[in-house]
Every structure is written in C-alpha cells, then in structure tokens.
C-alpha cells in the first residue's frame, strides 16, 4: 500500500500547477494528495482549515502576499510543517532570507519535470522525521537524568529508615507475640520489601518509561 503524503501547493501558474499534479500522480511508491491554492491568502486559509499537511510546496512570486510573507505568517502561527520553495532561478539572497524562517529546501521550476520533485519532498520528510526522533531521544535522556537525580536525593532519605524498619520488624517477628500481631508484622515487612525493590529499580532506571496514568497525570513504569 502506498504511503499517503498530503501537500498544500500554493502556485498561481495554471500550467505549472498541472505539471506538478501530473508528475506527482505518476510516482510508483507514494500517493501524493495535492491541495492546490493560487494565492497566499487562500493557502493560509486552507492550512487553518486543515493543518494536517505533511509538506507545503510554495511559489515565491504570488499575487498579493509573496512566498516569504506567507512563510512569515505561518511561522508567526507556530506552524512547523516543512516548506519547499519553488523559484524561477536560484537566488542566494532569497535562499538566505527564507532559510532564516525555516524553509527546508528549494526547487527551480525547470527541475519539476524530473524525478527531483518527489525525491525532494520525500527527502524533506525524512529529514524532519529524523530531527523529531533525535529531539525525542534528547528529551528522553534529559528526563532520565532528572529522574535519577531526584531518586538519588529521595533514596538517601528513605534507605536508612526502611532498613531500620525492616530490621525491627524481623526482630519483633522472632519474639513471642500474638498471632494477629504477627500477621500485621508480615504485611508491614512485605510492604517495606516492596518499597525497597521499587527504589532499587528507580535507581537503576536506564530508559524513559513514563506512561499515562489518569487524565493529565503520568507515572514512571517500574514494573517487571
């Protein structure tokens, strides 16, 4: 089954837009779903109405708002969808200006009739996914370090009293006490041991195992 890639194309040239539709529709591995708008204003409205686009393919020269102005408007809205600019020729100054805004790549219009167009779109998506994975790993690593630091501080306050409680419970269990009291001591001993095991697992935590608990509350999974 082909992977679906949703593209918002903002392009005012009918002939060029039809060429893009044609070449993308012929790709053997991906199903490119194209939503074509002819002005920057209409493009912004389309994105607000449906922000689930994977890529924005945008011409620089547009009636009304140009490509840079549309990109700035998207950035101000906090949009992180990758943008690929289409230009008549490679303009270094334009490239620098748009890269500062976060544009992912450039294509010259004459390249559209080659495999460069779908390959560029797929490459952009792969780069974005890789960055997201690396960012998630970095966040996970930072979370583990914070958890370990927190656990170290807590364990210093808990280990001594837990050990003392376990020792006293064991001594009382060995003495002559009533049967019902012995049952309560066993319950206390089991809970102390359970806390010691959980604390030990927290101290040796090597991966982020934060899971959803209830509603907006999360917890660390330290089960087997």
CATH 3.40.50.2300 in the chain, residues?
Answer: 3-114
pLDDT digits (tens, 9 = 90+) for 128-184: 888 777 766 666 677 777 766 776 766 667 777 878 888 888 888 888 777 778 788
pLDDT digits (tens, 9 = 90+) for 189-205: 888 888 778 777 777 76
The topology (CATH level 3) of 3-114 is Rossmann fold (3.40.50)
Q: Is 116's pLDDT higher than 90?
A: no
Q: What is the pLDDT of residue 156?
A: 67
Taking the whole predicted model, whether its pTM rises above 0.95 is answered as no
In this prediction, residue 42 has a pLDDT band, given cuts at 50, 70 and 90, of: very high
Element (H, E) at 111: none
Q: Tokens for 174? A: 């060995």
Task: Tally Cβ neighbours within 10 Å of residue 8.
Answer: 24
- Angle value at C-alpha 109, between 104 and 115, nearest 5 degrees: 75
In this prediction, residue 222 has a pLDDT band, given cuts at 50, 70 and 90, of: low
Task: Tally Cβ neighbours within 10 Å of residue 53.
Answer: 19
Q: Is 224's pLDDT higher than 70?
A: no
Residue 77: C-alpha distances to residues 3, 81, 219 (Å):
28, 11, 32
């Amino acid at each position: 089954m082909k992977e679906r890639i949703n593209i918002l194309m903002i392009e005012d040239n009918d002939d060029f837009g039809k060429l893009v539709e044609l070449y993308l529709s012929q790709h053997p591995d991906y199903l490119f779903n194209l939503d074509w708008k002819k002005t920057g204003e209409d493009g912004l409205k389309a994105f607000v109405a449906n922000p689930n686009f994977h890529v924005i393919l945008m011409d620089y020269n547009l009636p009304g708002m140009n490509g840079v102005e549309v990109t700035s408007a998207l950035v101000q809205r906090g949009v992180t969808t990758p943008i690929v600019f289409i230009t008549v020729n490679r303009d270094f100054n334009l490239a620098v200006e748009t890269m500062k805004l976060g544009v992912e790549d450039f294509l010259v219009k004459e390249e559209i009739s080659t495999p460069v167009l779908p390959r560029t779109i797929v490459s952009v998506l792969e780069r974005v996914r890789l960055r997201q994975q690396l960012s998630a790993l970095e966040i996970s690593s930072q979370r583990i370090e914070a958890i370990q630091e927190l656990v170290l501080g807590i364990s210093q306050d808990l280990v001594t009293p837990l050990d003392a409680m376990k020792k006293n419970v064991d001594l009382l269990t060995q003495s002559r006490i009533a049967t019902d009291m012995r049952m309560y001591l066993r319950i206390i001993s089991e809970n102390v041991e359970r806390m010691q095991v959980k604390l030990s697992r927290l101290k040796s935590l090597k991966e982020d195992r934060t899971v959803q608990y209830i509603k907006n509350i999360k917890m660390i999974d330290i089960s087997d």
